[in-house]
């Protein structure tokens, strides 16, 4: 098959698209892929590094307040539609997959107008504006959370497919995770991470709780700061924790996150859709700190969906402190019954093997 992937702006849109592409190529090595994004988004770097052909369409998002800039956005949208039609006519795809972000708008819309089968994938509980707009044109809408389905009541077809980023995590080796951290197999591990780029508020909490974490005798703490925050955070932690302590590890980045997650007992982090897909795929209990700097505050809605069933606790960033975070961690770890209950609740939410569900839907749409 020939498939166009589109999605951009953040890794939360890009990596699900790449996961679908990878699954298609695993199922059939003859699969040809084209990724359409923007030249200014992360996809312009990530996609070529993944070995896929990349083409750019320029588009910006609407401002939520009345603004003359929105007139320019409308003009760029239709320019983007024209550019997308040129690329689609040249590539001749069997189907187009959109995973969110402004660039999906002109690409999926253009495909629909050309009669090319289209699939939109929504990662978050509360849909983004672009995917809500595209739902009326797409042949199929796939959601990561069942609770998202009512948002797409006017779509032609809606399916619960989970998040394709969860698929690789299920196969991750726990033993390799322990080995990569230099920890004894079977150790109790608390992973604290602020996302691939890190988060200052979470790093500040790491600094505050570092002495307590280092003093632990039964638990290993892994602090992942993000590369841009590493020097500052690790330096301030060293001022608070003297000497070498094997129970506290401070890292700038983790390149084998699926394996480290598989070795973790409890994870503290943001509530992005792809992260939650990984946590629930492994049945991991979590303490979630939603980012307040996202559209529609969608991370808080994501976190509440886990908290409401007992799979996670939520701490708002406005309330966050190292002392509070350490108290929450200790409370969960000291109650084995509660920890087990959180694991079971998380496992029940474990999303289906989304990548294969989505590729199956694409084959259906393309008549393959």
- Annotation: binding site for UDP-N-acetyl-alpha-D-glucosamine: 10-12, 124, 196, 299
Q: What does R_g of the chain's alpha carbons equal in angstroms?
A: 21
State the Cα–Cα distance between residues 93 and 47, nearest whole angstrom: 18
Neighbouring residues of 139: CB distance < 8 A, sequence distance ≥ 6? 112, 117, 118, 119, 156, 157, 365
4 forms bridges with which residues in the sheet? Answer: 34, 96
The separation between CA 303 and the C-alpha centre of its own chain, rounded to angstroms, equals: 13
Helix 230-240 vs helix 200-214: crossing angle, to nearest 10: 30
Helix 104-113 vs helix 69-91: crossing angle, to nearest 10: 50
State the Cα–Cα distance between residues 4 and 118, nearest whole angstrom: 10
Judge contact between 5 and 99, C-beta under 8 A. yes
User: What share of residues in the chain are helix, strand, coil (percent, to 5)?
Assistant: 50, 15, 35
Residues annotated within the binding site are 10-12, 124, 196, 299
Judge contact between 261 and 267, C-beta under 8 A. yes
State the Cα–Cα distance between residues 138 and 117, nearest whole angstrom: 8
State the Cα–Cα distance between residues 125 and 167, nearest whole angstrom: 19
| Torsions phi, psi for 229 (to 5 deg) | -100, -5
């Amino acid at each position: 098959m020939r498939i166009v992937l589109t999605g951009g702006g953040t890794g939360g849109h890009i990596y699900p698209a790449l996961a679908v592409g990878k699954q298609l190529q695993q199922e059939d090595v003859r699969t040809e892929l084209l990724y359409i994004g923007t030249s200014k988004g992360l996809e312009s770097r990530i996609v070529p590094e993944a070995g896929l052909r990349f083409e750019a369409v320029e588009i910006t998002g609407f401002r939520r307040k009345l603004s003359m800039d929105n007139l320019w956005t409308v003009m760029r949208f239709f320019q983007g539609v024209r550019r997308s039609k040129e690329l689609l006519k040249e590539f001749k795809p069997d189907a187009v997959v959109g995973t969110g972000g402004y660039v999906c708008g002109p690409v999926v819309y253009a495909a629909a107008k050309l009669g090319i089968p289209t699939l939109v994938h929504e990662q978050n509980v509360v849909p983004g504006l672009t995917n809500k707009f595209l739902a009326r044109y797409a042949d199929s809408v796939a959601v990561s959370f069942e609770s998202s389905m009512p948002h797409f009541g006017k779509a032609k077809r809606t399916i619960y497919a989970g998040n394709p980023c969860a698929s690789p995590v299920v196969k991750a080796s726990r033993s390799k995770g322990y080995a990569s951290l230099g920890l004894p197999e079977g150790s109790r591990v608390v992973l604290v991470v602020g996302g691939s780029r890190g988060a200052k508020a979470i790093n500040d909490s790491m600094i505050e709780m570092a002495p307590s974490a280092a003093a632990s005798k039964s638990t290993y703490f892994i602090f992942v700061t993000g590369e841009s925050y590493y020097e500052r955070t690790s330096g301030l932690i060293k001022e608070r924790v003297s000497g070498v302590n094997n129970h506290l590890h401070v890292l700038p980045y983790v390149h084998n996150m699926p394996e480290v997650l598989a070795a973790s007992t409890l994870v503290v982090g943001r509530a992005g859709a792809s992260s939650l897909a990984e946590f629930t795929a492994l049945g991991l209990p979590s303490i979630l700190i939603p980012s307040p700097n996202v559209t529609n505050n969608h991370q808080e809605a994501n976190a509440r969906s886990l908290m409401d069933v007992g799979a996670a606790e939520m701490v708002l960033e406005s309330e966050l402190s190292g002392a509070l975070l350490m108290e929450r961690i200790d409370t969960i770890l000291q109650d084995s019954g509660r920890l087990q209950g959180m694991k079971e609740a998380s496992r029940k939410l474990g999303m289906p093997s989304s990548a294969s569900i989505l590729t199956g839907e694409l084959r259906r749409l393309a008549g393959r």
